[in-house]
Amino acid sequence: MRLTRAYQFHPVIADGDAIGNDAFALERLLWARGARSRIYAAHAHDEVAAFVRPWRDLFQEPRDGALLLLRHSMGNDCVDEVGDLPLPKVLRYHNITPARYFVGLNEDLRKYSELGREQLRGLASKCEMGIADSEYSRKELEASGYAKTAVVPILVDRNLFEQVPDPVVAARLADGHTHLLVVGQIVPQKAQHLAVAAFARYRQSDPAAHLWLVGRADLAGGYLEQVRAEIARLRLRDAVTLTGLVSSTELLAYYKGTTALLTLSEHEGFCVPLLEAMRAELPIVARNAAAIPDTLGDAGLLLDDVTPDAVAAALERVVKDRTLRRDLTERGRRHLARFTPEAVGRALMTALAQIGWELGGTPSRRITVLSSDERCGIHDYSQAIVEGLRANDHQVDFVGVKHVDSADLATKIGMIPKDTEVVIIEHENGIFRDLSFVLALLRLWFRRVRIVLSMHEIEPEKFHHYRRLSAALHYRPVYAWPLELGRIFWVALLIASYFIRYRLVLTLMGALPAKLIVHSDRTEYWTDLLTSERGKIEQHPLVIMPLEDALLPTDEAARRELRRELGLPLDGFILVSPGFFFRRKRFIEVARAAPPEVTVVFSGTESSWDAGYLGEVQEYVHEHGLTNVVINTDFALMGKHVAAADGLVLFYAEQFQSAIATQAVWAGLPCIYSDHPAFRLYRGAGLVAKDEEELRLRMREIQDPATYARLRRQVALLRRMLAPERNAPRYLAGL
């Protein structure tokens, strides 16, 4: 059976966690291979909550061609209920840390470790097979009663190494001294206390060396104090740093800037940091325990003896022996071939074939993206989709049409290459006339081209014939009553005509495309106007898109130079509200709330849809003498203003979704948002203001260095999650 839908479940999904990262990476792989995929959890950490659905939604999902990948790494109260779902299931096993590690340190973890082992055995009769991420874990599946088993390695997020390393961390590590790295949660089985003891011994021959323990400590319980006590006992307070949770760009800086990775963990189901270190060409010293040999192969020094003397001797070799370092990094490059998305995809296909499921390949398709050819947000968004599809090896043409120009649309439909397999239409109000657009859909449908209709704004008022219908319903009498009596019948005919055309347009827009994509709850609410086939509708977040006509400053000096060019203050905090001057963007309220120490820039142009509002904003700023408010109406400078800013203010009263928010994410900038559902996805990467008073407080709060750094970390996560190359294949999934 062809796999068309793959649902993934794990009780807890978090960013930076190996299981969460694997789930998101596998989601991307499944999209690329033609399967729709979503992730479900009982609890999603705030930073990824927008990308995870509540686990009870699984009970309403379509089941044709669907498979549930039930991830298991610890006991949870909802696992049994998920296991009883009437769906074909495959267990994705990440191993369970033995309960003995938590005795006396964390009673909850001890309890759920024991429960997890019980549930592992119970799920054997409910799952068609068990897939482990290492041979070590596969053997445990066999011992737990799984008749069919396979190994499919964890997928490492390739976007991690396509970012710019955090400059602050990179500078801290660039002092010419030895920096040793341990990556992993601070929990007993990771044995950070042994790493500290070994480092103390190593430091006797390298007194300037520093040890970095990178990882969250929220599950450490009493073990964190044990590690700190060991650091204090060995007088290493100035030589050992516990970083806590770090962002992806900070983690990359640690991998790129340190001298070697040390892993003395006693229990690992896979050990992702080994692969990340190989990718960073960082030599590895690791303990020969659990799944570590499976993952490491010959790409590092594997130790049976983990006494301080033995570990210190191994560290001295990888730090000082250049030949050995080159040899280990070369072995790492070769070994990584086992863990590429292509290799993992093949392993997953082979595993699923054991139980009769077929997962598609990743063929290159000939695709046309059709949308506006005019300089506007929807045009830029379409270009981002084009680039994302090309990054996935598809042949993609872009066809732009003039706004509300039926003749141009008809001409451009005829220009679409004859070997095109899929046409993706980025649709927004004001680009297409209703009837000519439906005729274009019919022409494509008769050519047997698969249509994916991506709708950015759908509601009744967006359709021409609905507006005509509404106007006819509210006509006012202008003649004497005998004439008006006859006019009623004429208006009734008009109403019938408008209604038929309105419904015909909606019906064909819903029926002709193979897939309907929306980008907001507001648009999804109205999709039942088009179709009752819920299975053909998907809601996708907008992908990020770059600023138009602007390059991001590479450092502080470049940013100051850009501010000088724009006539902005060189120092001080700058917030920008960009885009067309619409009343719903509440620029006057933003100006009124702005504290005097913040410079606010309104950068955009006047729109004929809201004529006069720009003048009102200018008049308000002038009348109140607001010297900290700058108004720019040169569209070509809007991107530069954003690039020069510290953040954005999007205090909108109404919105479907926000392309400007995606540009802020691309630029790495936090925002202040209104309390509107359109911004729900971005809230972790910004602050939320419900009213003007809160807006004033948020404009001050965002200037706090710790708050600003926290928001920037979440922006970096969104930049990875919303990258076009990650999300564009989702348009094709399920076709």
| Short-list 428, 498, 424, CA closest to 459 | 428
Give the tens place of pLDDT for each residue, 458-487. Answer: 999 999 999 999 988 888 887 777 777 778
- Enter the CATH code of domain 366-539: 3.40.50
**pLDDT tier for residue 219 given thresholds of 50, 70 and 90:** confident
| Chain length of the chain | 735
Question: Looking at the domain 556-726, which fold is it?
Answer: Rossmann fold (3.40.50)
- Statement: residue 721 has pLDDT above 80: yes
Residue 338 has, within 13 A of its CA and on its CB side, a CA count of: 18
List Cα–Cα distances, 486 to 472, 477, 497, in angstroms: 15, 11, 17
What pLDDT, on a 0 to 100 scale, did the predictor assign at position 158?
72
Arithmetic mean of pLDDT, 370-397: 94
Please, what is the angle between helix 659-666 and helix 377-390, to 10°? 50
User: With b meaning 16 or more CB within 10 Å and e meaning fewer, what string describes 261-281?
Assistant: bbbbbbbbbbbbbbbbbbbbe
CA dist 600 to 14, 570, 582, Å? 35, 14, 17
* Two tokens, residue 728: 């564009």
Summarised one tens digit per residue, pLDDT across range 664-710 is 999 999 999 999 999 999 988 899 999 999 999 999 999 999 999 98
Q: What is the pLDDT of residue 190?
A: 96
Q: How far apart are the first and last CA of the chain?
A: 15
Each residue's pLDDT tens digit, 518-554: 999 999 999 999 999 988 999 999 999 998 878 899 8
Average pLDDT over residues 434-441: 95
Task: Return all residues near 571 (Cβ < 8 A) that are at least 6 apart.
Answer: none
What residues does each domain of the chain span? 5-151, 158-335, 366-539, 556-726
The residues facing 2 across adjacent strands are 358
Q: Quickly list H helices, 234-271.
A: 248-257
Closest C-alpha to 396, from 663, 720, 732:
732
pLDDT at 735: 87
For 549-555, the CB contacts below 8 A with 24+ separation are: 549/636, 549/637, 549/638, 549/639, 549/640, 550/639, 550/640, 550/642, 550/643, 551/643, 552/643, 552/667, 552/668, 553/643, 553/644, 555/167
- The tokens of 218 are what? 């929220």
For residues 580 and 291, the model is more confident at 291
Confidence of residue 259 (pLDDT cuts 50, 70, 90): very high
Least reliable range by pLDDT among 55-59, 109-113, 374-378: 374-378
Does 421 have pLDDT greater than 80? yes
Largest Cα separation within the chain, whole Å, is: 108
What's the pLDDT score for residue 390?
Answer: 97
Tokens of 617: 């904003």
* CA atoms of 167 and 165, how far apart (whole Å): 6
The DSSP bridge pattern shows strands 89-93 and 515-518 to be unpaired
Is the pTM above the cut of 0.85?
yes
**Partner residues linked to 602 by β-bridges:** 577, 631
Q: Which amino acid is at 399?
A: V
Closest to 311 measured CA to CA, from 338, 293, 332, 284: 284
Look up residue 401 and give its amino acid.
V
CB 102 within 8 A of CB 41: no
Better-scored residue on pLDDT, 481 or 427: 427
Give the model confidence (pLDDT) of 25-37 as tens digits.
999 999 999 999 9
What is the model's pLDDT at position 601? 96
Collapsing DSSP to helix, strand or coil, 556 comes out as helix
| Architecture of the domain delimited by 5-151 | 3-Layer(aba) Sandwich (3.40)
pLDDT at residue 663, as a whole number: 93
Q: Are strands 629-632 and 598-603 parallel, antiparallel or unpaired?
A: parallel
Q: Is the pLDDT of residue 16 over 80?
A: no
Arithmetic mean of pLDDT over the chain: 93
Q: What is the pLDDT of residues 642-664, one digit of tens each?
A: 999 999 999 999 999 988 999 99
* pLDDT one-digit tens code per residue, 556-570: 899 999 999 999 999
Give the strand pairing for 366-372 and 515-518.
Answer: unpaired
Distance CA 20, CA 14 (A): 5
Q: State percent of the chain over pLDDT 90.
A: 81
Give me the amino acid identity at 706: A
Arithmetic mean of pLDDT, 612-619: 94
Q: Which pLDDT score is estimated for 478?
A: 76
pLDDT per residue as tens digits for the range 324-356: 999 999 999 999 999 999 999 999 999 999 999
Residue 394 has pLDDT above 90, yes or no: yes
* Calpha distance 168→704 (Å, rounded): 17
Is the domain defined by 158-335 classed in CATH 3.30.450.70?
A: no
| Number of C-beta neighbours around residue 644 at 10 A | 25
pLDDT value of position 422: 97
Q: How far is CA 415 from the centre of its chain?
A: 35
Q: What angle do CA 17, 209, 188 make, to 5 degrees?
A: 35
* Cβ neighbours for 39, distance < 8 A, ≥ 6 positions apart: 8, 9, 10, 13, 23, 24, 27, 51, 52, 53
Confidence category of residue 107, pLDDT binned at 50, 70, 90: confident
Measured from the Cβ of residue 722, the count of other Cβ atoms closer than 10 Å reads 24
DSSP string, 565-582: HHT--SSSEEEEEES-B-
For residue 68, the number of C-alpha atoms closer than 13 Å in the C-beta half-sphere is: 26
Q: What's the token pair of residue 538?
A: 């998907």
- Quick: pLDDT tens for 122-167: 999 999 999 999 999 999 999 999 999 999 999 987 777 878 898 9
pLDDT reported for residue 230: 97
Question: To 10 degrees, what angle do helices 248-257 and 272-279 make?
Answer: 60
